[in-house]
Amino acid sequence: MLRQKILRSIHIASTIWFILCVGYIFVIALRQAGVKWWIVFSLSGHGVLVTFLLISLYLFAIFRGISSSQKVQIEHPLTSTTYYAVFYVVTPFLGAVSSCLGMIGEETISQYLLGFAMGTLGTTFMVWVIVDPGIGLIEMLLPASRKHRAQRLAQAKTEREKKQRDSEHLLAQVLEKEETDRQLWQEMLKSQAEELVSLLANDRIDFVQAERNAIGIGASAWQIGGLNCMRELRNMTIEIYKQTNRNKAFVDYISFWWDGIGSWRAPSLC
C-alpha cells in the first residue's frame, strides 16, 4: 500500500513536470513564430481546461495500472515489477536529467530550460508511447505468458459458467417452491375461496358483515403464506366465481376489503 502511494505521488509530480515542459515548448514555438503575448495567454486560457481533463483521464488510467492487480507477474515478468514501475513514473525526470549532457557549453538560461523541456518530451514520448507498449507486446508473446493467459481465461470462463449454473439452479428451486406452495394453498384454502365467492355473489347479505368475514379470511391467508398466499386465494376466488356465475359481472371487492392486511394494498382508483 505504501509503495503504491509513493508511486502515485511520484507519477503526479512527473506528469505535472511533463505538462509544464510541453506548455513551455508550445509557448516558445508561438513566440518564435511572432505571436504576441496577449494571444498566447488567450490560447493558454482555453487550453487549461482541456489539459486538466486529459491529465485527469490519463492519471486515472495509470493509477488503475499501478494500484490494481491487472498485470499478472507470470504474464508480465518485467512490467509488473516495482523497478519497472519506478522507471516508468520517473521517466520525465530522467529525460530532464539526461538533457543536461547535451547542454554542456550553453550559456543562457532560456537554452537550458528549452533543453530540459525537449529532453523531457522526447524521453517521455519514447518510453510511454513506444518502449512500454513494445515491451508489453513482447511479454504477451512469450510461451509461458501465452500459456498462463490461456489457463487464466479458461478458469475465468469456468467460474462464470459455474455462477450461471448456480443462479439457474437457485431460480429453479425458487420456482419449484412457489409451485409447491401454490398447490398446497389450493388444497388448504379451497373452502375459504368458496366462502369468498358466496360473499361476492350474494347481493342480500349484509355488506359490512361480508367485509368482516373477508378480512378474517384474508388475515388467515396472510398468516399462512404472506402476500403470495393472499394473491393465490384471490385468484382462486376469481376463477371459482367465473365458473359458477358465468352471466354475472365480477366486482373485485376483495382487493379493497383486504387493504391494510400485512403488506396488501388496495389498487389506486386514480
Residue 44 contacts residue 30 (beta carbons within 8 Å): no
Q: Say what the pLDDT of residue 205 is.
A: 61
Q: Say what the pLDDT of residue 112 is.
A: 77
Q: Say what the pLDDT of residue 209 is.
A: 84
Domain ranges of the chain: 2-141, 189-257
Phi and psi at residue 205, to the nearest 5°:
-70, 150
With a CB cutoff of 8 Å and minimum separation 6, the contacts of 151 are none
Q: How far apart are CA 119 and CA 126, in angstroms?
A: 11
Residue 23 contacts residue 116 (beta carbons within 8 Å): no
Q: Say what the pLDDT of residue 40 is.
A: 47
Q: Say what the pLDDT of residue 68 is.
A: 44
Residue 138 contacts residue 42 (beta carbons within 8 Å): no
Q: Is 77 exposed, middle or buried (0-12, 13-18, 19+ CB in 10 A)?
A: middle
DSSP state of 267: P
Q: Say what the pLDDT of residue 107 is.
A: 66
Residue 200 contacts residue 241 (beta carbons within 8 Å): yes
Q: Say what the pLDDT of residue 74 is.
A: 81
**Alpha-carbon dihedral angle through residues 11, 13, 16, 20, given to the nearest 10 degrees:** -130
Exposure b/e, 48-73, CB count within 10 A at least 16 = b: eeeeeeeeeeeeeebeeebeeeebee
Q: What is the pTM of this model?
A: 0.53
- Grid coordinates representing 129? 508511447
Residue 239 contacts residue 195 (beta carbons within 8 Å): no
pLDDT per 10-residue tile (average), the chain, 270 residues: 78 82 74 57 50 55 48 79 87 85 68 81 86 87 88 92 94 90 88 89 73 90 91 90 80 88 79
Q: Say what the pLDDT of residue 169 is.
A: 94
- Best CA proximity match to 8, nearest among 91, 57, 66: 66
Q: Say what the pLDDT of residue 45 is.
A: 47
